[in-house]
Structure formats: C-alpha cells, structure tokens
Chains A and B, each alone.
Chain A
Amino acid sequence: MNIIVCMKWTPDTSEADLTVSTTAKDIKKDDLDYDMNDWDRFAIEEAAQIKEKVGGKVTVVSLAPEESEDMLRECLARGADEAFQIWSDQMEGGDGYAMASVLSQFIKGRPHDLILTGTLAEDDGAGQLGGMLAAMLDIPSATLVSKIEIKDQKASFVRELEGGLYESMEMDLPCLIAVATGLNEPRFVSIRAVRKVTSIEIPNVGIDEIGIDVGKVGQSGARVEIEQVSLPPEGEGAEIIKGKPEEAAARLAEILKEKGAIG
C-alpha cells in the first residue's frame, strides 16, 4: 500500500488582522505564522492510521519553500516514512491548477495506491487541488470524506452532504481521497517525537528534477488570475445597537433583513 499525502503550508489567518499588500494582489504575509493546513492534518493522520492497519509506506509531499520543513518533520513524527519538499522560485503565485500540475508530474513517476489530502486549504479556500490532481492522474476521487476503509483493492468511504446526510461509496484503487476535518482524532506530536525524526532527510526537489515545463508552474501555469484583493467592509468589534430593548430589537431585525440573514 503506497500512500501519498499532499500537504499544504498555509498562513494562519484565523486570529490575525489581515492587511492588503501594496500591489493589492494579495495580503501582507510577513507577520503571519505559517502552519500545516488544518484539513491536511486529518489527511496525514488518516494515512498513518491506514498504514498501521494494512501496512505500507506513507510519502508526504508539499509544494512549499524550506520554511515548511517543520510541517514535514511533524508528518514524519506522525508516521510518514518519507517527505519531499517541492519548490522552485518559479512556482511562486501558482493557483490550484498549477500546483496540481506539479504534483501530478511528481506523483506519476512513483507508485501510488492512495492519495490523501485535505478537501480545502485555509488560504485560498478553493477546494480544487484534490479533484484536479486526480483528473490529471486519471484516477477516481472523492472530497469531504469522513470515513475510509481500505479492503480488497477498494476504498469504501462515506462523504458528507448537507443537512446531516452522507453518501456511502466505493472506489477502485488507485484513487484520491480529499478528507473532511473530524474523520479521525489526530495524534499529538510532542517536541520529542519531532526530534526523533530529525535524522530523516527531507529532499528538496526543484521543477527541473520533476521534469515539468516552467510555463506550467507558478503564475504562468495558473489559469486564474487574482486582479485585486480587499478587506470586506466591517467595523472593529460589534456595532452596539443602542436604544430601548424594543427599538434595538427592531433595528436588529432590519439589519438581519438587509444582510440577507433571514432565511
């Protein structure tokens, strides 16, 4: 069982106050802490658990510059056997399509029975990489998967629909599964667990080694172009609606209506 897990290195924006960069094409990222994309944490845990159950080898791959080494070490501590960091400066500014192109080129040359990744990434929130990668590799895929069982060269799984409904499905291996958060309970990775894997080398692979055309990566390989980013208009803290309770409630009802918040 060869499992490949695609991990993303994303800025933690949930607690940060974001500002738009001078080019207005992205946010300022200098002050942001980067971390493992939370969805991918469940993917690597699932890979480790599948390996513990059915055996095999877990390979982790990430398209990220060197600073992401901590994340890959953490993956090794969680049970991955090897990790690759794919990065060349030309890869800067790539969208999901460009990233999928690089990953598919890298994965094509290696044995893969199961590819795991998170359904969404916290930065672009597009949820596109998994499906694109599977299409490029011509293997079936599924997203938002909340339960996986591997048996007889098949993956049985359950994926989330809305309103508490799930669909139970199966796919032939090789396949790609993009997981939902909460499908497992990711293990804790202690400082010592990471130290134990310090001796494992994490190769840094450039696009030349992968053998992909420069025009297909980064900004030139992207199909979507960000024209402008902006902060959604909103005030600092709550706008307190003043007045007597009845008046305030009435005003709030109007605001909810304006915001389309009344279903």
Chain B
Amino acid sequence: MNILKPADAPILGAPAPAIAFIILFLSVAFFCYVMFRRLDVLRKAAPDPRFSNISTRLLRALMYGFGQWRQPRYLGAGILHILLFAGFMILSLRSLTLIGRGFSPTFHIPFLTGSVGFAYESLKDYTVIVVLIVCLVAIVRRAVFHPKRYDHPGTAGHEYEAYVILGLVSALMITDMIHDGSAYRASGVCGEYHWFPAAAFASVFMPSNDPATLNFLHVGGYWAHILFFFGLLNYLPISKHFHVITAIPNVFFSNLNKGTIKPVRYGTVDWMELDQCGVSDLTGFTWKHILDFYSCADCGRCSDNCPANTVGRALSPKMISVKARDYAYENFPVFDKTSKDPAHEKRLVGDIITEQEIWACTTCGACEAECPIFIEYIDKIVDMRRYLIDRGEVPQSLQKPLQQIKKKGNAYGAMKSKRAAWTKDLEEFQVHILAEGEHSDLLFFVDSCGSFDPRIQEIAKSFARIMARNKLDFAILGQEENDSGNEVRRLGEEGLFEQVSGRNIEAFKARNFEEIVAFDPHAFNAIKNDYPEPFKVIHSSQLIYRLLSHGVMSLNGEYLGGRVVTYHDPCYLGRHNGIYEEPRRVLKSIPGIQYQEMTRSFSRSFCCSGGGLLLWYENEEEKERMGERRVKMAMEIGAQVIVTACPFCLINIEDAIKTTGNEGKIEVIDLVELIDRSTS
C-alpha cells in the first residue's frame, strides 16, 4: 500500500502545511522570546572580555564541546552522555527533515539523497535505538541506583527535570519509530530490516493489512514527534537542560587564564571608586558567569570532587549554580509577574548562597578541573567574598591574619625585621640578603610561611642547603619581602593584595636576578599568575629537576629505605599550574624508590584544606578534616611516605597523621626536604 504522507493529510479540514506552519511559527517565536529574555539578563550583567584568542577557543569548543573530552572522566556516565550527544547531533538532521515533511511529502535536506540519503536513514535508525536504550539506562540509573551526586540538597523539585527530559527524548524516539515503522510495515519490504532496525522493530507491533491503522500511526506518530520536538526545544531554556543549548558556547567562552583571579570589574580603571566592590546580586556576576549558571547540567561532578563538600562543609559547587539559576529564573521570569512582596525577597549572596558556603571554599580548583563544560567557581566565590569583605563580614578567625598582613606583611604577626631570622640556623653557609641594585641568579622567595612558621622554616633551610650545595648563586629579600598575597587575593581583599604585591614588585624591580624560585606553590602561583608585571618564576621542584637532568646532583635511597612512597599533588602546583611531571620525575630518580600513585592524583588530587591564610580558618561544620581524608587515601594504597611539594599540604597532612593516630606508620615530607636528605 502507499502510506498517507503527513503533509497530504488535512487535520480537521485544515491543510497540514498550514498546521505545520502554525506550529513552527509559534514554537520558534516562543523559543526566540524565551531566549531573548534569558540572554537579556546577560546584557545586564557585568562585563567580561571573552572574545580573545578565537582559535584557541574554537579548538576548545571542538575538543571539549563537540569532542566531549572530559566526559569519560566518569566512565559509565561519560559514555552514556557521549552516545546521547552523538545521537543528538545525528538526529538533528532528521528533525529538520521531519519539520520539512510537514510542508512537502518529499522534503529532504540537500545532499541527503540517493545512497547518501539511504546511509543516513539507516544510521538514523540505529541511532534511534541507541538513544532510546541510553535513555532507558539513564532512567534506571537514576531511579534505582540514584547516585548521590545527582541530589539537590536544600532545594526541591529538581530531580523530576531529568525524568521529564529523558521521557521527552524517549518519546521522540518512540514516535519516530512509530512514524517510520508504519511506513516500513506498509511498504512490505521486510528484507531491509537490518538497514532499518528501529522501524522494523516497531512494525512488529503493527497490523500488516490495516491501511487505516497504519496511516493513522504514520500521521499520528509524525505529529506527536513534531509536538514532542518543539516541546523539548521550548522546555530547554526553562529547565536545567538549557545546557543542551548553552554548553558549547560556554566551553567556547571559557576562562583561558588559569591560576589567576579576575579583576574586581573588567574595564574599570580604579575599582576602589566603584559604588560596590564584589558581587551581591545576580547581575553583579559577569555575563559569562550567568551563562555558567544556565549551562550547569546538575551532573554533580564538581561537588563529588569538592574536598569541602566531602568533609561536610556547607559548600557544594553544583548547588551554587543550581541556586543561582533558580534565582535567575525567578527574578528575571520569562513573563513578568506582578510585583513581589519585598518581605519575602531573599538576597542571592547571604541568604541563598550563604556566608558559610562562600568561606568554605579552599580554591583548590577540583570543581573546575572536573566540569565537562568548564563552569567557573573560584572567580565567583572570590567575587562574593569581595562583597563580604567590603561589608566587613569576615569570619573572626580570618580577620586577625589579614590585619597582620596589612600591618606587618605576614599573617603570623611577626616583626618584619625578623623575616630573615631563620637563616641564622644554617651554620655551613650564609644566606645572602639581596640589597637594592645587587644581582644574583636566583631570588629565593621564602614567603611568610617559610620565614616564620617553625616547621616550614625547615623546608626553607633544606632548600637553601640544596642550592648552596649545588653552588647556585641565590639570595633572599629579607625584610623587604612581603606576603605573596595569593590567599589575600583569594579571600577577596583585593586592596590588601595590591598593597603586598605592589611592595614585592617594587622590591623585585630594584634588584637584578634571572628568575625567582619559591617552594611554596601559592607564592609561585601569585607571582606567576596574579602579579600585574611579568617575572620569571619557577617552583623548587622545577629547579631540582633541572639540577638532576643536568647531572650535577646525585641522590641516594637511604632516607627512604625502601618504604612505599606516594606523591600528593598540591592544588596550586598541579591543577592551577599544570606542574605534575617534574616532582614525579625528581622522585623517580631516587635510586630504589618504591613509588605508588594514589587513586586521586594529578588533576583529581584531593586538597588538604588549603594554604596560606586558610590555615587560620576554622570551619565549624566539617566532620572530618580534609588532611585526614587524604592520609586515609595514602594508607589505602599502602604508602608509608607521602611526599608533597607545598608547605601547607605538609602542615595539614602532618597534623592529620597525628589526629588519625598513624604516627610511625606513615610520614609526610616535602620534596625539598626529601631531596636534601637523599643527597650524598
């Protein structure tokens, strides 16, 4: 039989193309209006220059957007998503074709004719099966296994959205199968089932000799498909599934400047003159940050990896996006509601995103490293902290160290004049304090921790010994050095950051050196990425690696004595600066080393709870300290020595070894100290 084409079948007397036109017009018009309303919020937001380096951005969009590069970090869910995404790409042509078939029974997309068209039709049919299976698996995963990262603590009604979308997609597939299946049945060509498995499968359930039913299924399936399609399209921008539209642009516009913090407001000459510093409301965020909120798919990978979330602090990065998106949808609705009762109005920063959440972040960057579509969190957290700082609402435990840095240049409250006092313990040689105008090859930036914390002074001494032993020409700034400002900036006190960094820059410029070297990744990061003037800076692990590869230094395995060693990647060395390999190569050059990698290593390293001023921050909510969790991870792989390359990791983990009662079973040591002790 010849099946009745949808375009040829009037509906209630009206010609089908007219109906198709009305549906198309109304849907597209509504969609455009919603999109306009959504994007209008971005227009009201703070500026953000994201149009530089177009080629890099395109590449990123290709690789991480279309290529879904980060998806397989969660293997199962990643594969499902890749299949679904690929299905979407393939089926988009099919959808266009079907829309056209409402107007003309023979409509096809140019070039999709003949054998190409046949191949596409066949591919499409396989895709429909795959997508339907993926949807069913995804529904079962959520409903039966409900992974914790999909939860929405503190808000209601978000879980159902996933079922709505999976249901809609399944419905699209099923209606497509009904539409094609009925034609397949009517054509009677059963031999082609391996080319069109979806249609063939659907046809099994259809009568072969009932033209009226087949026509009804074919036309009905078509219109149902069209309605589900436009329903889905218009559901996207009013749900979490906006990411289907915004994710790829979001990757394209993602942050290319790793390791640094955005200025208070882009394009402002003197931010201090602004009426408000920092972000208190939705439109205080930059347009890209609001696009982030739109784009979050609630997959929860960020929160799953967030150390603060893991130990029970109030923070869940995902929920920041979810809550901000809810706030955006509510306060910038598609259709203006009548005026709201201001008494019930909640502030975005303070009420919806609480101070506890804002201060709980260690800026470790695990969330950003994990997000498949590059949603940013650190800049937002810092922007909100800037607002709290501006209002004076700072946890008491952080106020004192900040004030000390303001007055004395270090959080320890120690006197400036004692900044070089640690060098007095070195008997074998003297550490030179570089005076203005003098030259040395290396300027050793000790930072406040190395200068004043008794435990960290030991690292400073070890490092000085290594450099002296290898006859390197190095010097320190002595009391001209100020705190690097890395945490000051990340805690949102931009003015103080400008003060301390400005003093350091002045001191750097008044002296001659080839490069700065620091063993504290926070100082390294600040100088490398935050300081407005470029200085060449390397990390101690890089310097040691250089010495080893030049063959000027030889190591022995005596100190390690055959113990199992693992390496803990410091956030500000690894994630923020991509230095993963040098420390490992240094370690592996120790003769006879027994090296084991922890499950969470490289970009998945687990923050020890933060450095710099965060050492002073005391969190009341956490059930376990991050360092303790980290020690357990090391114990699980049988490590006896944790090597790190950050003084704060060392302090936190050393503390945690004691609190978990593992003294004597496992030791933590800084790479610098280990090399010092392993040098013959």
Contacts and interface: CB of A to CB of B under 8 A. Distances in A.
Interface of A: 12, 14-16, 31, 33, 35, 78, 185-193, 195
Nearest to A34: B407
Contacts of A15: 413-415
Main secondary structure of the interface of A (DSSP, over half): loop
For the complex of A and B, the 7 pairs showing the least CB-CB separation, nearest first, are A191-B495, A187-B392, A188-B394, A188-B392, A192-B495, A192-B272, A188-B399
Interface in B398-441: 399, 402, 406-408, 413-415, 417
B499 interface: yes
A193 B390 contact: yes
B151 interface: no
B52 interface: no
Interface string B465-496: 00000000000000000000000000001111
Interface in B229-245: none
A32 to B, nearest CB: 8
Contact of A190 (B407, B414, B417, B493): B493
A14 B573 CA distance: 35
A190 B399 contact: no
Contacts of A78: 392
Nearest to A36: B403
B487 to A, nearest CB: 15
Nearest to B452: A15
B107 to A, nearest CB: 63
Contacts of B417: 31
B496 A35 contact: no
Nearest to B394: A188
Given A33-B415, A195-B272, 6 more contacts: A12-B413, A15-B414, A186-B399, A191-B499, A192-B494, A193-B392
Contacts of B115: none
A193 B389 CA distance: 9
A31 B408 CA distance: 12
B277 interface: yes
B496 A190 contact: yes
B424 to A, nearest CB: 13
Nearest to A45: B392
Contacts of B399: 186, 188
Interface of B: 272, 277, 389-394, 396, 399, 402, 406-408, 413-415, 417, 493-496, 498-499
Contacts of A190: 389-390, 392, 493, 495-496
Given A33-B407, A185-B396, A191 B415 contact: no
A192 B496 CA distance: 9
Contact of B407 (A35, A185, A188, A193): A35
Contacts of B415: 15-16, 31, 33
A66 B277 CA distance: 30
Contacts of B495: 190-192, 195
Nearest to A182: B396
Contacts of A193: 390, 392
Contacts of A35: 407
A180 to B, nearest CB: 16
Most buried by B among A186, A189, A191, A192: A192
Contacts of B390: 190, 192-193
B291 to A, nearest CB: 28
Contacts of B406: 191
B391 to A, nearest CB: 8
Given A15-B413, A15-B414, A189 B272 contact: no
Nearest to A32: B415
A252 B288 CA distance: 65
B334 to A, nearest CB: 38
A78 B391 CA distance: 10
A59 to B, nearest CB: 20
B284 to A, nearest CB: 16
A188 B496 contact: no
A193 B394 CA distance: 14
Contacts of A192: 272, 277, 390, 494-495
7 contacts: A12-B413, A15-B414, A33-B407, A187-B391, A187-B392, A188-B393, A189-B392
A189 B493 CA distance: 10
Nearest to A191: B495
A192 B391 CA distance: 10
